[in-house]
Structure 1
Amino acid sequence: MYFRVIFVTKSMTEGKPLKLILQFAVPLLLGNLLQQMYNLVDAAIVGRVLGTGALAAVGATSSVQFLVLGFCIGICIGFGIPIAKSFGAERLDKMRSYIFNSVLLTALFAVLITAVCSLCCTLILQMLSVPQDVFDDAYAYLIVIFLGIPFTLLYNLLSSILRSVGDSRTPFLFLAISTVLNIGLDLLCIIVFKWGVAGAAIATIAAQAVSGILCLIYIRFRVPLLTLSRADCKADAESIRDLVVMGIPMGLQTSITAIGSMVMQAANNGLGSVYVSGFTAGMRLKQFCMCPFDALGSAVSVFCGQNLGAKKPERIRQGVRLGVIVGVAYGFCIGLVMIFFGRSMSTLFVESSAGDVLDASAKYLRCMGYFFWSLGILNICRMATQGIGFSGRAVFSGVTEMFARSIVSLGFVGAFGYTAICFSDQTAWIAAVLYITPTCLHCIKKVTKQIEAEKANANFSESVG
């Protein structure tokens, strides 16, 4: 039997903002949750099968993974913003030019980032003060992750392109398939083949490769809107400039934030493998709980980008306001879960007999739970600021986070130990919120004035004509 797949784009310039944002965010959220399932499954199988030492090896490199992979994901999301804007403005030729040139730039980044990170892997582990008893395992895991960077970029670029034209469902479906594959490969590589922590990394990269290839096949054969003609396939300086202006700052935003996390990780690694394991378990749960913030922020960013292209500033304000309300409400609720059930959730990764590791994880989650709501403000305002074209100002919120984490890690861990680690993230979040909230409001006012001036000039020209 033959089934025809119909691709449907989604314009967010008409209709109820909250409904549109949530409709877009839900598949994106499910996709984010599935992506985090990679990390959760890796950590759970590694911790349960290979022990807390292997879990520490995987977790000891989490901050540098956040830095490198966060940059890769960030530039791909940034490349999607000009595509969303041109789609909202119904400039399809320009949209296709952005798509082709984003592919060129992504291929260049894939080569450069993979080469540099792979060659510097040992140096990176030394800079992170990875304990010697887990150093070899940490290297084995990290080098595989680095070699798989092209597959990470492939999936995230293609999924960003699909989301820019309103399709957040298809990337989720392909990611769901690869997640199931990842679980099977984890069990195969670790339990059957006995490849240790490297097997967990191989399973993750293989699964991401499958999701990226599926997106590529789908776009090539089922999405006429995104099909490029020979005329579209040429390097364009203006398109490259626009993509770099949006993509690089968004990638740097995540990477700069990760620098503070690396400083925090290095300080925590110096406290011993018990705290490294506890921190790893808590961090995996934190990342999973953060998925709704990321999905909601991305939805608001696309919503703002399309409505900027359609010159509808009031809808931009509505989208940001509603996004913040939903984000803060979620943050309060999940924060309570982290406070009261953090230790129980940590048993997913750690045997109940490892009480000191569970205590460390529970403390990390409990301290974080009190401030988790602040991410609802931070992510929405930052992504909205990025979505309406002020990428440089959004990046500075990452700089604020970096300095806050670094100050706490370098200045207070020596005196307060693991307790200081448990409050590093929250300090960074609050500091960034104090900057990005007024900045976002100012940027919205600025684009509103620009749009109103353009409309006034257009009306004047028509009246004179």
Structure 2
Amino acid sequence: MTQETKDRIEGIEKQNETERKEHNIKENKMASMPVGKLMLGMAWPAMLSMFIQALYNIVDSIYVAKVSEASLTAVSLAFPIQMLMISVAVGTGVGVNSLIARRLGARRFEEANMAASHGFRIAFINWAVFALFGFFFSKMYMAAYTDSPYILEQGTAYLVIVTVCSLFVFVQVNTEKVLQATGNMLLPMACSLTGAIINIILGYILIFGHFGFPEMGVVGSAVATVVGQFISMCMGLVLLLGKKHEVTVKIRGFKFSGQITKDIYSVGFPSVVMQAIVSVMLFFVNGILAFSETAVAVLGIYFKLNSFIFLPIFGLNQGAMPIIGYNYGAKNRDRLMKTYKLGFKISLVIMCIGTLLFLLLPAQLLLLFDASENMIIIGTPALRIISLCFLPAAFGIMTSTLFQATGHGMLSLWMSLIRQLVGIVPLAFLLTSIGGLALVWWAWPLAEILGTIYCIIFLNRLYKKEISTLS
């Protein structure tokens, strides 16, 4: 054996030893670090990123509302398509993330590289679908909800821009999920924060026409959105391709594999569905509320405001889920339940704050969006009534996280369907038929009650059959 061969073998052994030590450190942390410190340490990058994203959603709508109430309605009608687009991007990214993580854990590095490479090709395919829809069907979509020439024109222009340029968000999300799959949470957070901050600043400049730029209104909001996504995408690509990571994206010598695509969407499709439920619900509810453009705008404001409450909780769950999953696999019932209960308590505190804000200050929240007198009359009771769903939602969201972490994704999917679609849409239609706008808002808390009953039943079954038997 030559000296060169000996040195190579020694180098490989040292690398393997280093990897084993890193793996043991991670295992020890998941198994022994205090749950609160561990969960918050893992969750804070995602919570901060989602908090900034929620802030952007609100600030962007405040800017648009200052143009006119009709402008806010136009953007609100386009919002479900945007949410559907994000749902496909994030759901696909979750599938890519999961497949990469599993292949890395199994030491199948080449397959991890192929999963990452497929993610980028799929991003282009998804972009093409939405770009074609936006280019050819945006006006038809908007016309289904409004006969106002201004709302139709502005909403169509907004929708065309964000869909035709959606390549940026598809690639951006995929890049972030690939980085997260290698255990890097900070770089994706930096990319997301940079894009959101640029979006907020540029939105103000373009919507109102400052620093020599023309006043672009709704179109300016769309342009700021895609520019922020473009910069975030570029930053992510530089960080992914310009540095050495555990995975390598193949640009040349790539062959598309149906099996890898299937593996990605075996996890990604349920996630797409769960993410898209709110979009589908809004399609129907906006149609139910089509007799009142102000009511549509109020619903749009509600979803922008509730993101400020809900998104940080979803970030918290990103920290809780791997801890629950790890300790479920390790058969450590005490740490599993401690994580679940702590996550629920923190979620409940956040929801309590949100409920108080909506109950005590609904008019002030609406005035952030330059609400007219009619909007305040409609929106004040609407925000108060819908906020009654917040507290039970804390239980539903955290229990859904437990279902996913223990490998029961379909239980989580049905939970989301009941809370956000199967419950709300029929109830909204029925209540509108009975009492119009005065009753329609009760669809949200009533649907949440149905979701809570479902959660209690299946959580009890899961605990008795599986969790209680863990040592």
Question: Given the two structures, how large is their TM-score scaled by the length of structure 1?
Answer: 0.83
What is the distance in 2 between the residues matched to 1:93 and 1:303? 27
Give the match's secondary structure for 1:224.
Answer: coil
Q: Which residue of 2 aligns with 1:359?
A: 377
Q: Which residue of 2 aligns with 1:430?
A: 449
1:12-411 equivalence runs, <5 A = 13-14=30-31, 15-48=33-66, 50-86=67-103, 92=109, 94-129=111-146, 131-192=148-209, 193-228=214-249, 235=256, 238-271=259-292, 273-304=293-324, 311=330, 314=333, 315-350=335-370, 354-400=372-418, 401-411=420-430
Moved more, 213-222 or 390-399: 390-399
Q: Which amino acid aligns with 1:248?
A: F
Task: Say if 1:446 and 1:254 are closer, same or farther in 2 by CA, change over 3 A.
Answer: farther
Q: Which residue of 2 aligns with 1:459?
A: none
Moved more, 135-144 or 438-447: 438-447
Task: Say if 1:133 and 1:114 are closer, same or farther in 2 by CA, change over 3 A.
Answer: closer
Q: Which amino acid aligns with 2:434?
A: A
Q: Which amino acid aligns with 1:79?
A: V
Q: Is the 8 A contact 2:61 2:369 kept in 1?
A: yes
Deviations 1:231-258 (A, max 9, x none): 9965555543321111011101222343
What is the distance in 1 between the residues matched to 2:299 and 2:281? 16
Task: Say if 1:123 and 1:230 are closer, same or farther in 2 by CA, change over 3 A.
Answer: closer
What is the distance in 1 between the residues matched to 2:253 and 2:275? 31
What is the distance in 2 between the residues matched to 1:441 and 1:113? 41
Q: Is the 8 A contact 2:431 2:443 kept in 1?
A: no
Task: Say if 1:230 and 1:318 are closer, same or farther in 2 by CA, change over 3 A.
Answer: farther
Query: Equivalent pairs: percent with the same residue?
Result: 17
What is the distance in 2 between the residues matched to 1:96 and 1:420? 53
Task: Say if 1:133 and 1:240 are closer, same or farther in 2 by CA, change over 3 A.
Answer: closer
Q: Is the 8 A contact 1:61 1:142 kept in 2?
A: yes
Shift of 1:378: 2.2
Task: Say if 1:168 and 1:418 are closer, same or farther in 2 by CA, change over 3 A.
Answer: farther
Moved more, 246-255 or 102-111: 102-111
Q: Is the 8 A contact 1:268 1:421 kept in 2?
A: no
What is the distance in 1 between the residues matched to 2:182 and 2:464? 26
Deviations 1:290-311 (A, max 9, x none): 1122212232334445566x65
Shift of 1:224: 2.2
Shift of 1:122: 2.4
Q: Is the 8 A contact 1:316 1:444 kept in 2?
A: no
Q: How many residues align?
A: 440
What is the distance in 2 between the residues matched to 1:344 and 1:320? 35
Q: Which amino acid aligns with 1:429?
A: E
Partner of residue 432 from structure 2, selected from 397, 403, 413? 413
Task: Say if 1:444 and 1:254 are closer, same or farther in 2 by CA, change over 3 A.
Answer: farther
Shift of 1:438: 4.2
Deviations 1:39-85 (A, max 9, x none): 2222111111x121211211123233323322332332343233344
Deviations 1:150-185 (A, max 9, x none): 222222222223333433322222222222321232
Q: Which amino acid aligns with 2:318?
A: S
Shift of 1:210: 0.9
Give the match's secondary structure for 2:390.
Answer: coil
Task: Say if 1:118 and 1:437 are closer, same or farther in 2 by CA, change over 3 A.
Answer: farther
Task: Say if 1:362 and 1:382 are closer, same or farther in 2 by CA, change over 3 A.
Answer: same
Shift of 1:390: 3.3
Task: Say if 1:170 and 1:419 are closer, same or farther in 2 by CA, change over 3 A.
Answer: farther
Q: Is the 8 A contact 1:405 1:428 kept in 2?
A: yes
What is the distance in 1 between the residues matched to 2:100 and 2:323? 12
Q: Which residue of 2 aligns with 1:3?
A: none
Q: Is the 8 A contact 2:386 2:442 kept in 1?
A: yes
Q: Is the 8 A contact 2:191 2:235 kept in 1?
A: yes
Q: Is the 8 A contact 2:241 2:249 kept in 1?
A: no
Q: Which amino acid aligns with 2:387?
A: G
Shift of 1:428: 2.9
Shift of 1:407: 0.8
Deviations 1:86-109 (A, max 9, x none): 556666555444323333333322
What is the distance in 2 between the residues matched to 1:232 and 1:22? 42
Give the match's secondary structure for 1:162.
Answer: helix
> C-alpha root-mean-square deviation of aligned residues, in Å?
3.2
Q: Is the 8 A contact 2:74 2:152 kept in 1?
A: yes
Q: Which amino acid aligns with 1:276?
A: V
Q: Which residue of 2 aligns with 1:463?
A: none
Give the match's secondary structure for 1:226.
Answer: coil
Q: Is the 8 A contact 2:146 2:152 kept in 1?
A: no
What is the distance in 1 between the residues matched to 2:100 and 2:456? 26
Give the match's secondary structure for 1:373.
Answer: helix
